[in-house]
Amino acid sequence: MKIPDVTCSIEAYCSINPSEDPKKVEQALSNILSDTDIKINQESLKATSKNLESLTRIFETIHSRKSQNNFRRQLNHNLIDDSTWFISINRLLLLML
């Protein structure tokens, strides 16, 4: 993947249910986002990064499943000014990656 030279901020947020182990939620997020600063408390987890390379695993997964058009459509649909967001990801699935 050729990484463009752009300034960006990447944020991932998820709530932690009482039945979930916060460390497993953190591991699940780390499976898809690399090079992030993770802040965790009893109720939520927030990961931030200024490095576009953090999205490499997501990029590879989207391209390996040939679902670029679906993601592009969703990103364009959620575009507000210069910010966008995409899907909620199942944490159990992330643990298996």
Residue 48 corresponds to which tokens in the numbers above?
A: 């931030």
Residue 1 lies in a domain: no
Please name the residues in contact with 33: beta carbons below 8 A apart, sequence gap of 6 or more. 10, 12, 47, 49, 54, 55, 57, 58
CA 58 to chain centre: 7
Residue 38 lies in a domain: yes
Our count of domains for the chain comes to: 1
Edge to edge, the sheet with strand 37-40 lists 10-15, 44-49, 37-40
37-62 pLDDT per residue, tens = 999 988 899 989 888 888 887 788 77
Residue 62 lies in a domain: yes
Q: Residue 52's domain spans which residues? A: 10-84
Mean pLDDT of 20-41: 86
Residue 32 lies in a domain: yes
pTM: 0.65
The CATH number given to whatever domain includes residue 47 is 3.30.1440.10
Residue 5: pLDDT band by 50, 70, 90 thresholds? confident
